């Protein structure tokens, strides 16, 4: 499963990219606002850091506005993926932008039927929000499994990008449910590498090596 980082904080993206842990980046208006930077400048900078897809979301809610903004975003860099809301106008814009050769990410997906429509519209990615479903006592991983089954039966090429990831358990669940990718906050990605037994084991190894009085170099 591919790992995308869900942030617009350039420093976090650079750090994780240097570790070789991320395959792409997703952003949204909220994350851009938190970054404190100019929207287009931030997207351009991120696209220069990572080679993989970088989702940049339109602000318009009607078809004509989404098309104008989507075309503008696509000009920022070749790896920009135009992020669109899962509405009828968003699906219409998705189909039109895909026909022009652009990649798209249809976001705010909460049902398998919505995901089916996004795939019919030719979306490159569908973003089911597992965490927000969990918030209302609906198992978000059930949705991932349903979409996976529908896409496999129909032969759709749309990639399932698990979103609204809150914990390392969400990441594991998405991978087991068959998601193609998950977009994850930087802090959660880092926490996936940590375990108390790993820390304790490393501390013991370091102490034993010091006691041995040897050197590798």
Tokens in use for 76? 């920022």
CA atoms of 158 and 60, how far apart (whole Å): 23
Contact 130, 162 (CB under 8 A): yes
**DSSP state, residue 81:** E
CA atoms of 172 and 201, how far apart (whole Å): 23
Query: What are the backbone dihedrals phi and psi of residue 78, each rounded to the nearest 5 degrees, phi first?
Result: -70, -25
Q: Which of 34, 40, 83, 190 is catalytic?
A: 83
Q: Does the annotation count 92 as an active-site position?
A: no
Q: Which residues contact 170 (CB under 8 A, 6 or more apart)?
A: 130, 131, 140, 162, 182, 188
CA atoms of 75 and 39, how far apart (whole Å): 14
CA atoms of 102 and 15, how far apart (whole Å): 28
**DSSP state, residue 121:** T
Closest by alpha carbon to 79, among 55, 110, 106? 55
Strand partners, 81: 55
Give the catalytic positions in this structure: 83
């Amino acid at each position: 499963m591919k790992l995308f980082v869900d942030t617009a904080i350039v420093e976090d993206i650079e750090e994780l990219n240097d570790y070789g842990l991320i395959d792409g980046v997703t952003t949204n208006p909220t994350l851009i606002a938190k970054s404190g930077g100019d929207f287009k400048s931030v997207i351009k900078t991120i696209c220069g850091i990572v080679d993989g897809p970088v989702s940049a979301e339109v602000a318009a809610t009607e078809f004509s506005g989404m098309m104008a903004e989507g075309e503008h975003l696509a000009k920022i860099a070749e790896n920009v993926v135009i992020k669109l809301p899962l509405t009828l106008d968003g699906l219409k814009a998705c189909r039109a932008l895909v026909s022009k050769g652009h990649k798209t990410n249809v976001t705010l997906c909460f049902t398998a039927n919505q995901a089916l429509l996004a795939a019919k519209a030719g979306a490159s990615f569908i973003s089911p929000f597992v965490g927000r479903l969990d918030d209302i006592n609906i198992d978000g991983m059930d949705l991932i499994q349903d979409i996976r089954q529908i896409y496999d039966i129909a032969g759709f090429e749309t990639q399932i990008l698990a979103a609204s990831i809150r914990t390392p358990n969400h990441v594991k669940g998405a991978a087991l449910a068959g998601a193609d990718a998950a977009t994850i906050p930087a802090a959660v990605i880092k926490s996936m590498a940590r375990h108390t037994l790993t820390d304790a084991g490393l501390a013991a190894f370091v102490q034993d090596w010091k006691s041995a009085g040897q050197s590798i170099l």
